[in-house]
Each structure stands twice: as structure tokens, then as C-alpha cells.
Amino acid sequence: MESPCRCNRGGGPVSNPCMICKGTERTHLCSKNGFDLYRCSTCGLVRVDPLPAQEEIDRYYTEAYNQYRYSFNKPLADPARRRSHNLTVLERFCVPSTLLDVGSAYGHFMQNAKSNGWKAQGVEPLNEARILTQSRFRLPVFASLKDAPSNSFNAATMWHVIEHIPQPMDFLQDVRSKLRDGGILALATPNIDSLSAKATGTSWGWLSPPDHLVLYSRSTLPRLLEQCGFDVLHVETGRGPAKNILLLMLQAIVFRLGLFNTMKQSVQKAAYEYQSARTLGDKINVFVVTEKLTEGLTFLLSPLLALLWKAGLGDEVLVVARKRAS
């Protein structure tokens, strides 16, 4: 039986209020991959409604979530000991100690943290990623958040995880329970109010249900954390793991031509082949050349982009918060 929410594609009041501001007015943003996305008219939160059934989400992650497969088919060198930007931001608020990386994927951030003095553990439900992390980096990874011990970690991280979670308030409260009093949570997610999102519209690459179910901004993510028992300490936007903005524009054009899924898989394959190739000739392909050319042009625009990121238009929003005393 179809949800009555689908009858309200034009916007207006609904019986399912916004999880952040409890507003009941919204506008229909778009329909994509068979799902409807709405933007709250009060706070700007974007979410899929109705949510897919859990069985549909599970099937997606077991059958279709393969965009990173090419990057990890072959063991690569360990991540560099140099601190990643995310780790540097985290260490402004917490000295290296115990860390739980929620949604640890293939373990690269955990290994980077370990190389810089952290005692890192992870949570990753995908079997392939969890097994590769444990075998390659010798790091402990739980299959579920509920398996991690409570009140045990000085810091927790969630890098591009929260947008996948259909019930983020419950999930964040579960993460909070794993932290010691005063523990730090750092998380990053795609920024629905970014320059690239505004420029590419419904072709924005991170607008991708059922992969991404809730999309946040520099204003909505801190509000969510405050409601879940955290005090926000730091908010920034930046490029994050996104491709450069010129390449994002090209990908948006490709999507409009109906080739996005092929493009997405081909770009990942090209990246893997570039990393694995032994000769310069083997490294050259249309995707890599396009990326390098647009990277160069983006570099020339970097002073302007830095100002835009400071204004909250970066592709990613990163927030650091402290567990509030009960």
C-alpha cells in the first residue's frame, strides 16, 4: 500500500513532521530512482519520504552498493602516517586515545588514526569491508553498533555515514552511549546547501536514494546533534572527498544524458586502474585525463573557492560535538 505522503508531491502540510524542527510544511524537491525527496520549508532538511522498507535497504547494500569495489579489489599500500584533515580537526578537541569509527568501511581512517597514536576500533556492517579491514590492517571491527561496549570511547567518528541512516536521532543516541562523559563526536556528510548542489540541482551526485536518505546542511546537522545530547563545538564546510567542482558539473551533464550509473562505475574502475598501472601509458584514460584537467582549472580558482567554503558552500559539512552530561 502506497504511503499517503506520495500524494503530497506539490508540498504543503503533512502528518509526518520534520525530525529536527517538527515543521509540517515542505516542498517536493524531486523524484529520483523511484523515491520522492522533500525539503522542510522551515529548516531546510531534505529527506526521502516514504522511507524504503528495511528489506529494500538491505538488498541495495548487498547487491548494488559496488561503487568502491574497484578501489579495493587489490591490496594497496597502507594509508600515509600524515594526519588526514579529518583527524587534524578531531585532534583540536581530543588528544589521541580511544576511538570508535562508525561506518569504518575499508579501514583507511582507522589505520591513519592508529599510525598517529590512537587506539582505534570500528563498526562496519558490510562483511567484505569488515573482513578486508581486519586482514589488511589488523584492526578490530564490530559488525553492529550494538556490539561495541558502552561508555568506553573518548572519541567517535562518522565519515559520510549519517546520510545513510533512516532514523538518525535514534542512531546518534546509540553512538552517544558508546562515548565516555565529555567524549567527542566528529562527523561529516554531503552538504545539501553546497555550491555544487545548487549548481547541479537534481543531477547532484550525492542526491542518490536509496543510498542517501537524509541530507543535511551547515545549519540542520548541528541542530540534530544538539537534540541528541551533544554540544556543538565546531562547524565547517569544505571539499571533503568530493571530486572537484568542475568535474562534478561534467558528471551532472552525463547524468542528464542518462549515463550516470555507467559513468559512476567507470570512474571508480579508472581510479583503480590508475593506482595499479605500472607504466604511464597504462595510466592514461579519458576519465583520468578529464579529472586532471579539471583539477588544474580548479586549483586556479582555489582562492575564490576558499571564500565560498567559508561561507558554507563547501561540498561537505563537518561538525565536532561533545557528549553533554546526562
What pLDDT is attached to residue 149? 97
pLDDT single digits (tens) 35-54: 999 999 999 999 999 998 88
Q: Does residue 107 have a pLDDT over 80?
A: yes
pLDDT of 100 above 90: yes
pLDDT at 13: 59
Residue 184 and residue 132: Cα distance in Å, rounded? Answer: 27
Contact in structure between 125 and 144 (CB atoms under 8 Å):
yes
Same domain, 76 and 217: yes
Predicted structure pTM score: 0.84
Is residue 227's pLDDT more than 50? yes
pLDDT at 79 (0 to 100): 54
Whether 308 is in a domain gets the answer no
Question: What is the number of domains present in the chain?
Answer: 3
Q: Is there a contact between 99 and 114 (Cβ–Cβ < 8 Å)? A: no
Confidence category of residue 70, pLDDT binned at 50, 70, 90: very low
The yes-or-no verdict on residue 75 having pLDDT over 70 is no
Q: Can you tell me the distance from the alpha carbon of 50 to that of 41, in angstroms, rounded to the nearest whole number? A: 17
Of 94-108, 130-144, 276-290, where does mean pLDDT reach its minimum?
Answer: 276-290
pLDDT at 291: 81
Asked if 222 and 81 sit in the same domain, the reply is: yes
Based on the domain organization, do 33 and 96 belong to the same domain?
no
Q: Residue 11: pLDDT band by 50, 70, 90 thresholds?
A: low
Q: 34-43, 154-163, 246-255: lowest mean pLDDT where? A: 246-255
Q: Which of 214, 293, 273, 249 is nearest to 43 (CA)?
A: 214
Q: Give the residue numbers spanning the domain of 18.
A: 4-48
CATH value at residue 139: 3.40.50.150
Q: Rounded distance, CA 34 to CA 45, Å?
A: 20
Q: Are residues 108 and 10 in the same domain?
A: no
pLDDT band at 104 (very low <50, low <70, confident <90, very high): very high
Distances (CA, A) of 323 to 91, 112, 148, 173, 224: 16, 24, 17, 10, 13
Q: How confident is the model at residue 212 (pLDDT cuts 50, 70, 90)?
A: very high
pLDDT at 4: 34
pLDDT over 60 at 262, yes or no: no
Residues 272 and 150 in one domain: no
